Amino acid sequence: MRTLVLSGERGEESAARAKYNIFEPDRADLRNAKCFIRHVDRFRPIRDWKEQQVWDIIKRYRIRVHPCYYMGWRRCSCKFSIFGNKNQFASAASISLEQISRIIKLERDFGYTLKRELSLPELIAMGCVYKNITPELQRLATSYNYNQAIILPVAEEWTLPSGAFGENCGAT
């Protein structure tokens, strides 16, 4: 069996990503193993795209993106990513109070912080919650079930999400 993994890393996002191969065997690939054959390739079709190109094609095909982009996040990743900044943590904490409370408790229990220089309560206190978070977007973003149309109906206007071209924060 052959598997192709499509992934959306863009070289513009970091120096490391700029060096990724566009097409290569995936780390899960075992096509040369003697006892087990697993053929897995990875394809990064937008590695050389600029962010504007990504938003242009999303607009062209009227795609409704993940709610986090409408709330203000520039990237859709782990909600409490170690790469997140103060505003992302303040915003994530505002929509997921129970989860952040558990993570803060773990920081205290282990005596280590997620961010080396600050505890999460300190980091969150320094940040500003994204202004476009609404109860409906919060519900959609934190729900296990998503029931919105991915392709916008013709009657619904496509709008550039507030997170587009926002804070550059993430893996390097």
pLDDT on residue 167: 73
Give pLDDT < 50 ranges for the chain: 171-172
The pLDDT, as a whole number, for residue 170 is 53
Q: 131-141, pLDDT tens digit by residue?
A: 999 999 999 99
Tell me the two tokens of residue 168. Answer: 């550059």
**8-state DSSP, 43:** E
Q: What is the pLDDT of residue 76?
A: 84
Q: Which helix (H) or strand (E) holds 137?
A: helix 135-142
Name the pTM for this structure.
0.84
Distances (CA, A) of 115 to 56, 82, 88, 128: 35, 7, 13, 17
pLDDT at 33: 81
3-state SS, one letter per residue, for 66-116: CHHHHHCCCCCCCCCCCCCCHHHHHHHHHHCHHHHHHHHHHHHHHCCCCCC
Give the pLDDT confidence score for residue 171 in this predicted structure: 47
- For 65, 107, 116, the CA distances from 75, given in Å and listed in that order, are 11, 25, 22
User: Which of 42, 134, 127 is CA-nearest to residue 84?
Assistant: 127
